[in-house]
Each structure stands twice: as structure tokens, then as C-alpha cells.
Amino acid sequence: MTVIKTTGDQVLDRPLADIGGKGLFTKEIEDALLAGEIDVAVHSMKDMQTELPDGLGIGAVLPREDVRDAFISLRHTKLADLPHGAVVGTSSLRRQAQLLHVRPDLKVVGFRGNVQTRLKKLQEGVAEATFLAVAGLKRLGLAERITEAIDLSEMLPAVAQGAIGLEIRSDDARTAALIAPLNDPSTALAVTVERAFLARLEGSCRTPIAGHATVHNGKVRFRGQVLSPDGKSCHDVAREGASQEAITLGVSAADELLSKAGPDILTRTA
């Protein structure tokens, strides 16, 4: 196994939105894949660009973990318990926008680093609370750090949150065959819908976009959301259809949001 540190891992003194868009956690790994230094790249699917570099493709998507966001606080047991004017730390514009939409009284500050770094910041009083993905905490064996798992009705997750993708070279038939049994069809289909939605919106780290799809008995259900960074503007959409309509569902949901909100919402800074 080869461990590769990406730009997103190394630059911790600035918000993700200030150092680039999608690809911050994938570029160096994809470069190694294209160079033949590795044969399989393991990614959090929410970090992947919707348009992959030429010569690369997704060979498998693993069964999805919990998609929810985790509220973490040393003093408050629930998000609703935060006092008026409390400071919340997050590096995610989506979480910032969703939080300010329901609690405009709160103050949001930039918050990056690993779990221990963020917990230390909470102990130092930099913020009253922060958010992380439930899936990541579970995979790290840190589920006990979760103060509250936020219900999807309150905070819709990032596109593909909780899903792990295996990226390979498009012409590598041997590796494709080796990892094919690892693919979870339902997760792969749900992620396809979500990524089609995101691609249509041309979302980046500078755009608060959320989306979540589920697959059951051949039916796909999808919810999507676009917000302004300050949370004052929020537009939702829902779709349901057959699994073979996956990409169409995601695209049409995005088109409806663009119609409701106008294309300027994707470039609005406040």
C-alpha cells in the first residue's frame, strides 16, 4: 500500500474554498495512478471531481456508510442547545450555509485539521462546536466522539458523502476484474444520481450544494439542495424514478433548482 498526501491534506491554514475546488484530495493520487506507480486509488467519493481525468474511471464503489453529519461539542448535547451567538467551527461552506439557514444567530469560523486537532480547538474555546462526517468518525473508530448525528431532514449531506470509490486506469482490465466483486450496485447507483446532479450544477468547494439518493426495489429517491453561503437563500428539490433513469433524475433535479434559484446562486458569495 502506498500512502500519498494530497494538497488538501497538507494545506491546513486556509479554507478549502480558498485553495481550489474539487480535486484537492485526489490530484496527487490520480497522478500516481496515471504514472503506473499504483494500480488502484482509494477515495472518499465526495472529494472526487465529477469529470475524471482522461484515462481514469471508477472501478467499484464500496457499500455506503452512514451519510449523516456529526455534531461535536464538549458542552452541548444537541445542535438545538447552542446558545444565541455561539461560535461554530467548520471548513465546509455547505455546513456553514445549512447552519446559518436555520440558526442565523450563530457565528461560523474556519476550522480545519484532524479530529484530535478540532477537539483541542474546542477545549481551547476557539468554538463551541464543530461538524464532521459520521462515516469518517466510524471508520476511524471514533464514533464515541459524536455528540449528535444530525437528521437528514435538518442537514442534507454532501454529494456522495459516506461512499468510498476505487479509481483505476480505464484500460486496466485485469485490475477492473479483480475489484469488480467489491462493487455495491445500490451505492454505485445512488452516487451516480448525486454526481449527475452535482455535475449539472458545476458545483465546487465554493458552492453550498447537498444531495442524497437512496435505492430500494429498483426505485431511486433523491433530494437536492442549493444554498447561498450566508444561508439566507435555500432551494430544495426532490425526485423519484426507476433505476435506469438515474442520470436523468439527477440532471432534471439540478435543472429545477437552477430554474428556481437562478444560475447566479452558484457564484453568489453572500
Q: What would the DSSP string read from start to end of 81-101?
A: GPPTT-EEE-S-HHHHHHHHH
Contact 87, 109 (CB under 8 A): yes
Spatial distance between the Cα atoms of 247 and 222, rounded to a whole number of angstroms: 11
Residue for grid cell 461538524: 131
Degrees, nearest 5: CA angle 61-155-256 = 80
Buried b (16+ CB within 10 A) or exposed e, 202-217: ebbbbbbbbbbbbbee
Catalytically annotated residue among 9, 18, 47, 54:
47
Q: 124 exposed, middle or buried (CB, 10 Å; 0-12, 13-18, 19+)?
A: exposed
- 47 part of the active site: yes
**Known catalytic residues?**
47
